[in-house]
Amino acid sequence: MLARLQTFSLLGVDAVPVDVEVDVSSGALPATVLVGLPDTAIRESTHRVARAMVNCGFNRPNDRIVVNLAPAELPKTAATFDLPITLGILAGSGQFSSDRFRDYAVVGELSLEGSTRPARGALSMAIAAARQQNLKGVVVPAASATEAAVVESIEVIPVQTLGEAVGFFAGELDITPAPTRVDEWFDRFANYDIDFADVRGQEAAKRALLVAAAGGHNVAMLGPPGGGKTMLAKRIPTILPPLSADESIETTRIYSALGLLGAGQPLLATRPFRAPHHTISEAGLIGGRSVPMPGEISLAHHGILFLDELAEFNRRTLEVLRQPLEDGTVTISRARSTTRFPAAFMLVAAFNPCPCGYRGDPRRDCQCTVPQVEKYMSKISGPLLDRIDIHLEVPAVPFRELSARRAGTSSETMRQHVLAARDLQRHRFGQATLAATMAAAPTSNTAAPRCNARMTSRQIREWCPLDGPAMELLRAAVSDLGLSARAHDKVLRVARTIADLDASATITCGHLSEAIQYRLLDRTLWT
């Protein structure tokens, strides 16, 4: 007898539909055959499936069982095929029948006792199920139901055991769909335990980070150890705009596909902050494996990627950041497929001015020679620094500021300025620029930028006009600092953000001068 079910397989962070066809033939040589490019975890499922059926009180057919996972050319990964394969075997052997196989997809891993285990990528699978017009819902392990229930347009049926799944599909058990509680999750998890008020001193650094957050600009911080670079970086998410529902779901899908969602937290409600160690590999940073999976830059999507001790990273590893910094996506090609992952993040880098870290520190002597400093700094390529909008010096904090009782500028105060500047940018790019872009290229799928850091060259010319004195100031800066064309555009983008923070429609010499001061690393630091 033949049974057919619908399920999903993860391809990167996306879920693709898979048909599970199970044929149970009596009178043939007993065997279980899996076809359709299953990976090792799926091939081993035959042993789990057999014991789960017996331990739940069902009969294991002593027949020839052929399981086909279609489409045949798509590699199948993960153990979420356990439940659909088991249900197919039971239905194919006549132990129950169901009319619900046409209306509900099913995913889930089984234990030997027949209970369900959490499914990686449950959110992506629920999204894919919602796109299938012939499906009413998806049956998932109970532990993954709250995550899948983020998708409101489809029924999410939670099952704790194989017996419950059989009862539901046989029509003998009615299970209430898991409720959608997105607002509740945001209220519960959209809070930060840290604040910029905790940082003593460093008001100039806070100002630069305020500009960075307001325009979505990448930042590099240079300073001696203990100056507060890491402390400052960790607090940047607290002043960024709150995650929208769409941004949250898009980022949560990545964490779900890798099984990184925290226990009891089915949805990310705060912007991610990723801080990989400097020994990370290229594949760990941008993603990889034989079947491509996302790396740290995708886990930082809509958030912060913090690279501490930047000069200690492998130079080749850092170079792979160039394309994602420009495009907001990363493309990984393999022999069988090409996968694209989202990677729209703010890069925040921190490093010391020399190997010992104390060059320029008035309180400590630096014994590094000029060749040592040059070798140390040469680990960071010019093209990478060129893609960082704001270069910031973070000096050591004087004792009088460390011992002061008055708290520094708070995250709430800074966030209000960021939100006001982002509102101006949303109005600017969401209306006039988008209309102009569509008029020039009606078939273009390129979305309007949400912040100044993503302005195109055409938009820079439209929104960053300079008067005579400002133009002369920029010309002198380009000549004296040797700025590249990319650095020239980044100065204008940062100046536009500073003007937005002042609610100014025009860029003045003051705005431009501050933006130029944030190009610290375009100068020679060791002479």
Gap between the Cα atoms of 88 and 86, Å rounded: 5
- Report long-range pairs for 226-229 (Cβ below 8 Å, ≥24 apart): 226/396, 227/202, 227/394, 227/395, 227/396, 227/397, 228/199, 228/201, 228/202, 228/394, 228/397, 229/308, 229/350, 229/394
Tally the C-alpha atoms within 13 A of residue 290's C-alpha that lie toward its C-beta. Answer: 4
Which DSSP category does 153 fall into? Answer: T
- The pLDDT score that the predictor gives to residue 449 is 61
Residue 289: pLDDT over 80: no
pLDDT tier, 468 (very low <50, low <70, confident <90, very high otherwise): confident
Segment 92-96 mean pLDDT: 94
CB 206 within 8 A of CB 218: no
Query: What is the mean predicted confidence (pLDDT) over 350-357?
Result: 90
Buried residues in 211-232 as b, exposed as e (16+ CB within 10 A): bbbbbbbbbbbbbbeebbbbbb
Confidence of residue 441 (pLDDT cuts 50, 70, 90): very low
Q: Of 43-57, 443-457, 494-508, which range is least confident?
A: 443-457
pLDDT tens figures, 201-259? 889 999 999 999 999 999 999 999 988 999 999 999 999 999 998 999 999 999 999 98
Q: What is the pLDDT of residue 448?
A: 47
Please, is 273 exposed, middle or buried when counting C-beta atoms within 10 Å of its C-beta (0-12, 13-18, 19+)? buried
Residue from 502, 275, 520 nearest 388 by CA = 520
Map out the domains of the chain with their CATH numbers: 2-180 (3.30.230.10), 187-405 (3.40.50.300), 418-522 (no CATH)
